[in-house]
Amino acid sequence: MYQRVTNNYLNQSVLNNLYTNRSALVDLQRQIASGKKFERASDDVLSSITVISSNSSLGKIEGYIKNIETAKLEVETADKAILSSLDSVHKARELTIQSLNATSGTEELNMMASQVEQIIEQIKDLGNTKYGSKHIFGGKETTSPPFIDPPDPPVTDGEGIYYAGSASGSHQREVEISEGVTITINLCGEDIFGQYYKWDHDSNPLTDKVAVSGGLIGTLSKIKEQMESSSPDKDIIRQELANLDNDLTNLLSSQATLGSLTSRLEIAKKIHADDKIAITDKKADAESIDFAKAISDLKFQESALQASLLVGAQIIKPSLLNYI
């Protein structure tokens, strides 16, 4: 039994095939023009999910790389400050050794004291080093200089250098360098440079302040005091020279810590750079076309459309008179 095929059915079938071929041709032309496999997520759900996930991952990686680069610049700034401090401490050490020379008189010692005082001021300035708008040695207190003149007691006779930054142990500023991984990028200024301040005792014990000293600034300040004293005690100077060597070792240790931080940041940045390449390739595979294949498909689709037009013309051409 044969099914009757009407002219209307033939015409509609030919047109549907032409629409299909034209649609496929238009899609291929769009893909070649844009270089993308799809325009809307609904065109290719699986590929679009891969692209969206890749974009999210790349955004996070860019954020981590930015954090790492900023942290690395801050650490490098701190390292330069400590390197300058090392030069100053070596100079102070030379002066201290000279002061222990038996022939060093009061006038010479006073001149050395002036030089040591300048070194102390240099150390103070280095302790107040800024990266951008941040004072990097003040711990979490980054908006104001950490090394300042001591705060005024009831009587304003204080002298020395006072550390006003975050205390050691609560100074850490952390940066996220990858998902769930943070790193402390700063050192406590007091641990590196110390502090030294005192007030003269007066007749009122309620206003007496006990002298506070420690670390590099304290050591240099005590050496200076002996050098400028009318009767310097060279045994004290000799003792402070040993302390100065310890402070020098502490500076070297701080520099090594910063060097380790720099290495860790560089490694983390390299890992992110490698991940970025891998994710970018994965994204490209999901959304980008193979141009050679797309052009080949386009040529094939053009031929198919031409063939459809020729065949369709032959099918639609007969009229009712052909069947009389």
- pTM value is 0.76
Tens of pLDDT, residue by residue over 261-270, are 999 999 999 9
Distances (CA, A) of 42 to 34, 38, 47, 48, 187: 17, 9, 10, 8, 52
Q: Which structure tokens are listed for 111? A: 């001149």
Q: How many CB atoms lie within 10 A of CB 320?
A: 7
Tell me, what DSSP letter sits at residue 36?
B
Averaged pLDDT for residues 202-219: 73
Is residue 300 domain-resident?
Answer: no
Is residue 8 domain-resident?
Answer: no
Domain extent for 254: 53-280
CB of 192 closer than 8 Å to CB of 168: no
Rg of the chain over all Cα atoms, to the nearest angstrom: 39
Tens of pLDDT, residue by residue over 173-188, are 999 999 999 999 999 9
Is residue 318 domain-resident?
Answer: no
The CATH number that applies at residue 227 is 1.20.1330.10
Averaged pLDDT for residues 89-114: 89
In this prediction, residue 159 carries a pLDDT of 76
Domain count, the chain: 1
In this prediction, residue 18 carries a pLDDT of 64
Averaged pLDDT for residues 38-54: 74
Is residue 150 domain-resident?
Answer: yes
Is residue 32 domain-resident?
Answer: no
